[in-house]
Structure 1
Amino acid sequence: MGKVLGYARVSTDTQDIQSQKEKLLTLGAVVVFTDTGSGSSLDGRDQLEAALRLLEPGDELLALHPDRLARDTADLLTIGKRVIEKKAVLRIYDPNIVFDGTDMMAEVLLTIFGMVGMMEKHFIKARQRRGIDAAKLKGVYKGRPATISPEAVRELHQQGIGATEIAKRLRIGRASVYRALAA
């Protein structure tokens, strides 16, 4: 048996990842990779990517729950397939799933829990939307505060500076420059 690499994820900086790390270490992980961010996408999950790259034949990638890996069926199965391509094993603690590419039921369980994650994601977004709509009716929701100054964008533009350079100077995206100029 090779090494056990743990993986933990929380959605926001305000959530505590320590309990996940401690449990993974107790379960045998020699190192725990952690990401903070949405489970809705694999984009930006640098530590998950690092763990997958480090896997060698006989190793194990361990997560406490399927939704810590992904909240999407395709993403969860992609992770599983990447693990078995390395001739390693994906193990999920709760529910107990051991995916090594040889057990059809393990793949079925990954698919089901990926679907559950997608449903949870849908319900979370629906609740958020209802909350925002209710806050707007009360007049307390104003949206996210502006992070750029349209005046600064216009001032640089009036100096003859192009959108790409404005974006670099203000550390914003070019699309934000164009939106500020159009406003």
Structure 2
Amino acid sequence: MGKVLGYGRISSSDGQDVASQKAALEQHGAVVVFSETGNGSKLDGRDQLEAAIRLLEKGDTLLALHPDRVARDTGDLLTVAKRVVEKGAVLRIVDPAIIFDGTDIMAEMMLTLFGLVGSLEKYFLKARQRRGIEAAKVKGIYKGRPASIDPVKVRELRNQGLGASAIARRLQIGRASVYRTLKEEAGA
């Protein structure tokens, strides 16, 4: 029997703690728990999940408490499950009890179903967020994200003879942002 690697994720550090997930994963047999904080809406940037998958060997198990801790949509959830199986391991979800080894169509159907639930949840969350922003804009409360680039500093550095790349490095912003800021300044 192979090793059990746990994976836990919380969406944000605001009042959430991955410690309870870690304890539950250890209770279910995880010898090592990989955990991270971040949005589960995409797989990009999920370094701890990648590390756990890389360490899997034939006969191992990747353990998660719930499908939405692994991924929030069908495609990503099935992608992770299939990558685990390609390593010769299994994906085990505690609640609902799913063991995906690539041979059981019912387990794949369950992952697909819970991936769809995650997608639906994500859709409703974004819709509520959009409605809230629109309502705040009508009330004059929401003004958008504050500007993160100081156009005065960009202009000063340009007047000193620095090029876009040098300005970008100095201000730690993208070169495209420098061009956009200069263009907006010229049009203003």
Query: TM-score over 0.5 for the alignment?
Result: yes
Q: Residue 53 of structure 2 aligns with which residue?
A: 52
TM-superposition CA deviations, 1:120-163 (whole Å, max 9, x none): 11000000011111111111112222222121122222333232
**Cα distance, 1:22 vs. partner?**
1.2
TM alignment of 1:5-154, pairs within 5 A: 5-14=5-14, 15-154=16-155
SS at match of 2:173: coil
Task: Give the unaligned 5+ runs of structure 1.
Answer: none
Q: Identity over the aligned pairs, expressed in percent?
A: 70
Shift of 1:178: 2.4
Q: Tell me how far apart the structure 2 counterparts of residues 160 and 170 of structure 1 sit (CA, whole Å).
A: 15
Range that drifts further, 159-168 or 51-60: 159-168
Moved more, 169-178 or 109-118: 169-178
CA shift, 1:90, in A, is 0.2
**What's the offset of the Cα at 1:95?**
0.7
Unpaired runs of 5+ in structure 2? none
Structure 1 stretch displaced more, 166-175 or 18-27? 166-175
Q: Distance in 2 between matches of 1:153 and 1:11?
A: 35
Amino acid at match of 1:133: E
CA–CA separation in structure 2 for the residues paired with 1:12 and 1:173? 26
RMSD (Å) for aligned C-alpha atoms: 1.2
How many Å separate the matches in 1 of 2:170 and 2:13? 28
Secondary structure of 2:39's aligned partner: coil
**Alpha-carbon distance between aligned partners in 2 of 1:56 and 1:87, rounded to the nearest angstrom:** 6
Q: How many residues are treated as equivalent by the alignment?
A: 183
User: 1:115: Cα distance to partner?
Assistant: 1.0
- CA shift for structure 1 position 182: 2.1
Aligned AA (2:69): R
The structure with the largest alpha-carbon Rg is: 2
Could you say which residue in structure 1 is the equivalent of 2:159? Answer: 158
**Residue of structure 2 in register with 1:168 after alignment:** 169
More displaced stretch, 26-35 vs 160-169: 160-169
Residues 103-112 or 157-166, more deviating: 157-166
Letter in 1 for 2:173: I
* CA deviation vs aligned residue, 1:44-72 (integer Å, no higher than 9, x gap): 10000000000011111011111111111
Q: Distance in 1 between matches of 2:167 and 2:30?
A: 46
Query: 1:164 Cα shift?
Result: 2.5
- Give runs of ≥4 in structure 1 deviating > 6 Å: none
Counterpart residue type for residue 42 of structure 1: L
Deviation at 1:37, TM superposition (A): 1.3
The whole-number CA distance in structure 1 between the counterparts of 2:81 and 2:68 is: 13
Question: In structure 1, how many angstroms separate the alpha carbons of the residues matched to 2:174 and 2:13?
Answer: 24
Deviation at 1:16, TM superposition (A): 1.7
What is the aligned partner in structure 1 of residue 181 from structure 2? 180
Query: What is the DSSP-based 3-state SS (H/G/I as helix, E as strand, rest coil) of the residue aligned with 1:41?
Result: coil
- Return the TM-score normalized by structure 1: 0.95
Letter of the 2:27 counterpart: T
Q: Distance in 2 between matches of 1:179 and 1:16?
A: 40
Letter in 1 for 2:7: Y
Name the SS of the counterpart of 1:110 in structure 2. Answer: helix
